Amino acid sequence: MTTTVAQHTPAPSTDIASTAIDSTDTDSTDADSTNADSSDTQSSDTASTPAAKTVPERQNLLGMSREQMEAFFLSIGEKKFRAAQLMKWIHQEGSDDFAAMTNLSKPLREKLARVAEIRGPGVVYEGTSSDGTRKWVLEVEDGSYVETVLIPAENGKRRTLCVSSQVGCSLDCSFCSTGKQGFQRNLTAAEIIGQVWVAQRSVGPRRDTANRPVTNVVMMGMGEPLLNFDNVVPAMKLMLDDNGYGLSKRRVTLSTSGVVPMIDKLGDEMDVSLAISLHAATDELRNELVPINRKYNIRALLDACHRYLSKCPDNRQITIEYTLIKDVNDQQEHAEQLAALLKELPCKINLIPFNPFPNSGYETPSRNQTMRFQQWLYDLGYTATVRMTRGEDIDAACGQLVGRVKDRTKRSARYIQSVQLDAD
């Protein structure tokens, strides 16, 4: 394992108890008094000296869609075809320096430097696992940390980037470490696409369509993507745009725990690949593992999947994600229930052995049990693959991403308290 850490800050711990930030840390009374003092000082200064000229804030162009970029160029008196040129510099060359964009005129480059910027997330930590998996801990606008992971496969020909959509997660799936951190906020489109931008810059710029630094993107990192719809969809459109990352819609996958109305809305907007975090074949068990099931049950979720597929112009399958947890959902009866449930849905099943984290209360099934479960599904006529655990030595495996979250839900405080009580 190798790591690279930004010199100005230490690598953050991925232990939940040490990285979660309780929202009660901010003292509103002190903040109010500080603001009042600042206001008094400002009034005094204003009386004695002329007001300083306000420097206009430069626009960050990183998260702009093609339409937004065209509108930006028109707003500064330039032709909208410049949008395509700039997008290629940003997303395909990984450039953040206007002066280096040599197919733009020097006056335009100078104008862009005055009114705009290309600002991605700050890299706080970069680590490489013994299996080649790479993880970045990224600092976003408010000082929070999110994590993104690049998983190589097929001798490096396939590089799948797992992208986060929220700081923390607004859901609380019982087997997922991210959910125990609580939830702070949605990421912006720039912060989402910025993860792809950082990874591509680190691996190297795209030289041709057959040699991409990132070949696939899965919205499976921190957060529930469909609860940040208004930022996730524009970011995914940038991933697909020929002037952006130029990925095929089959190579961009959104994973959801089952926000049914937003699955319908997604189908109206675009037809990327869809993955469902199912993990159980009965409502009783899924209510325990994936609490959003209490609002949108399995039948409603599968109906939404059928509607989504009906809007796709080609033959498509849903990916069913099923985390195997020892003695919880890994027995033959569970395989039979799953097969019966999915018999009408065009799908493939991705089995994920549970990745442990402290105080989860769950265990990973043995390899033999995992293989037995896979064979039961094969015998029942299903394509089922087992997702290899990758990046476990750098806490980059599925369900292990934590970042740093100023929790608005108090969920992280409750979780830390439970860990401490168990220790006592």
Domain ranges of the chain: 63-117, 122-423
Task: Answer yes or no: are the C-beta atoms of 200 and 190 closer than 8 Å.
Answer: no
Q: Check pLDDT > 80 for residue 131.
A: yes
DSSP state of 92: I
Measure the CA angle with vertex 142, ends 140 and 148; round to 5°: 25
Query: Cα Rg for the chain, rounded, in angstroms?
Result: 23
Task: Please report which confidence band the pLDDT of residue 70 belongs to, taking 50, 70 and 90 as the band edges.
Answer: very high
Q: Check pLDDT > 70 for residue 13.
A: no
Task: Please report which confidence band the pLDDT of residue 204 belongs to, taking 50, 70 and 90 as the band edges.
Answer: confident
**Residue 321 annotated in active site:** no
Q: What is the dihedral of CA 89, 92, 96, 97, to 10 degrees?
A: -40
**Residue 147 annotated in active site:** yes
Q: Check pLDDT > 90 for residue 35.
A: no
Residues 6+ apart with CB under 8 A from 226: 232, 254, 256, 259, 262, 263, 266
Task: Please report which confidence band the pLDDT of residue 361 belongs to, taking 50, 70 and 90 as the band edges.
Answer: confident
What does the pLDDT average to over 352-374? Answer: 92
pLDDT in the model for residue 4: 53
pLDDT in the model for residue 399: 44
The per-residue pLDDT of the chain, averaged, comes to: 83
**In b/e form, how buried is each residue of 189-217, taking b as 16+ CB within 10 angstroms?**
bbbbbbbbbbbbbebeebeeeeebbbbbb
Residue 325, strand partner residues: none
How many angstroms separate the CA atoms of 197 and 346, rounded?
A: 33
- 392 by Cβ neighbours in 10 Å (0-12 / 13-18 / 19+) ranks as middle
pLDDT in the model for residue 98: 98
Least confident of 174-188, 325-339, 382-396: 382-396
* CATH number listed for the domain at residues 63-117: 1.10.150.530
Q: Check pLDDT > 50 for residue 30.
A: no
Catalytic residue among 147, 191, 224, 321: 147
Task: Please report which confidence band the pLDDT of residue 23 belongs to, taking 50, 70 and 90 as the band edges.
Answer: very low
Residues 6+ apart with CB under 8 A from 78: 108, 111
To the question of domain 122-423 being in CATH 3.20.20.70, the answer is yes
User: 260: which 2 tokens?
Assistant: 């049914």
What does the pLDDT average to over 14-21? Answer: 39
pLDDT in the model for residue 75: 96
State the DSSP H helix or E strand holding residue 149, giving kind and residue range, or none if neither. strand 145-153
Measure the CA angle with vertex 228, ends 223 and 234; round to 5°: 120
Least confident of 157-166, 338-347, 410-419: 410-419
